[in-house]
Structure 1
Amino acid sequence: MTDIDFRRLDLAGREPLMPGQLSVNEAVARIVAQKATIRQERLSGIHNPWGQAIGLTDPWTFLSICESQAVVDEARSILGPDIILWDSELFPEARKYAQFLREGREGRYWPVRPLAGAIVVLSVGGANPRPEAIGLNDVQESVLDGRDPLDPIYVMRLLPGTSHFDRNPLHPAHRACMEEQVLINYANRPLWLLSGVDRANNDLVTGFSLAAPAWASGGLPAATRGET
């Protein structure tokens, strides 16, 4: 495992499109301070600048973690060279993720064919954090052994470039998510190709823009046109 220096993230040789305005420690601390008032579902997709987390934090800060060389290298050890990021989630307390795992929920909402992937877990509450990659079939509560249950933990969900992310809302994983995590819609989430090649014809376009204003297709609102 490779340590991450939060002060200088290496984005696998790339420059960030828009560097985060908050440091990782500051971004995490702000959310932890509000954890009693934030529903966990709102912290899903926290790396997505076009997602719901924009009202809570600076998503670019978390996207920088996902794209860091340390995370990509860890993921390659399990997934090989072709890696796609489809979700990440901050748990303000590791014990909340432990409960998630005890309930068998990791993997239940993965709309991936064939089902394959890995999570990368990163404790973001202390110094010298080290990412740890675990294959989806090996994910269990023991992955949190040795971690402080009250420390925040960041979970990144990755699929290999040989699997297809199914955006059909009728997929069983989407249906389960709609019933059990009502604030989350994975069907319209953007995907990031972190490394290698997309070999499964994934939709890498959906989700990378904000919804158009309601009046856009019908011209300007009446008041703007000078009508009364």
Structure 2
Amino acid sequence: MRDPAVMSGTDFHRLELAGRESLRPAPMSVSEAVAGIVARKATVRQERLSGIHNPWGQAIGFTDAWVFLGLCESQGVVDAARDILGPDIILWDSELFTEMRSYTEFLREGREGRYWPVRPLAGAVVLLPVGQADPQPMAIGLNEIGQNVLEMLDPSAPIYVIRLIPGTSHFDRDPQHPAHRLCMEEQVLINYASRPLWLLSGVDRAKNDLVTGFAAAVPTWASGALPTQRGGEI
């Protein structure tokens, strides 16, 4: 068995389901997963769509996170990111925006990069217009991304944002890191300090913690109903 520190999400999926595949529902397609979330977008807080690729995160309550993890690990995404980051690539976050105009506003406010607890600060954002039949990944360096990159896309369509860092950068898990503290103030439902990291390509050259976060979440039936706000919003 491979070392858990270097196992991919797909490896964990296979391990988790070994001998009991029949107990798991058929996996969703990307279009089904996105359509299901878009249909209930008025009741889902944006913060809940952060880390949607994490099978041990909060997304398990309303979608199949493995579908989004598969997108993050796809060869097209890795190849696009490699042109910017080089051979060593680490996935640390992804987020679905049900309307592209929401991400445009996020960029307009200068928030992309604001919550990245990374030193040296470097990375790439891969954009996937998942509302299209055959979405093609577009990678942009963190320092180059701006709202103009979305000008040719439908502002009402969903977009999937994948956040990657090079293997030469260190992801700081100290909750006192300025990026973590700012995130806790402005995005209170998000805790990046405990998020799992995936080594998508190459080598981790910055001695990152690639183990934290790979633990099963408490089932929703055991933890009670999800907190609600504003008429059922989660």
TM-score, scaled relative to structure 1: 0.85
- Which residue of the partner structure matches residue 208 of structure 1? 214
What's 1:172 paired with?
Answer: 178
Q: Aligned Cα RMSD in Å?
A: 1.7
The separation in 1 between residues aligned to 2:215 and 2:182, in whole angstroms, is: 26
Q: Which has the higher helix share?
A: 2
Distance 1:108 1:156, change over 3 A: same
Instruction: Measure, in 1, the Cα distance between the counterparts of 2:125 and 2:207.
Output: 22
Q: 2:67 aligns with which of 61, 71, 77?
A: 61
Give 3-state SS (helix, strand or coil) of 1:209's partner.
coil
Pair 1:212–1:35, CA change in 2 (3 A): closer
Question: Could you tell me the percent identity over the aligned residues?
Answer: 74
Deviation at 1:104, TM superposition (A): 0.4
Secondary structure of 1:16's aligned partner: helix
Moved over 6 A (4+): none
2:52 aligned counterpart, secondary structure: coil
| Residues 51, 59 of structure 2: 8 Å contact kept | yes
Task: Confirm or deny: 8 A CA contact 2:92 2:197 kept in the other structure.
Answer: yes
Q: Are residues 1:110 and 2:104 paired?
A: no
Q: Matched residues in 1 for 2:9 and 2:58: separation?
A: 25
Question: Is 1:52 matched with 2:46?
Answer: no
Q: From the superposition, tell whether residues 145 and 187 of structure 1 become closer, same or farther in structure 2 (CA, over 3 Å).
A: same
Change (3 A) 1:212 1:44: closer
Within 1, Cα distance between the matches of 2:104 and 2:199?
28
Write out per-residue CA displacement over residues 187-209 of structure 1, whole angstroms, 9 at most, x where no aligned residue: 00000000000000000000000
Counterparts of residues 1-16 of structure 1 (less than 5 Å): 16=10
How far apart are residue 211 of structure 1 and its match? Answer: 5.9
C-alpha contact (below 8 Å) 2:125/2:162 kept by paired residues: yes
Between structure 1 and structure 2, the one with the greater Rg is 1
Structure-2 separation of matches of 1:211 and 1:64: 19
CA gap 1:201/1:147 in 2 versus in 1, 3 angstroms? same
1:143, distance to aligned residue in structure 2 (A): 1.2
- Give the distance between the partners of 2:154 and 2:167, measured in 1 at CA: 33
Scaled by the length of structure 2, the TM-score of the pair is 0.83
**Secondary structure class of the residue paired with 2:105:** helix
- Equivalent position amino acid for 1:26 in 2: E
Gaps of 5+ in 1: 1-13, 214-228
Q: Counterpart of 1:220?
A: none
Q: How many angstroms apart in 2 are the aligned matches of 1:81 and 1:45?
A: 23
* Counterpart secondary structure, 1:31: helix
1:95 counterpart SS class = helix
User: Aligned to 1:137, which of 132, 136, 143?
Assistant: 143
2:75 corresponds to 1:73: no
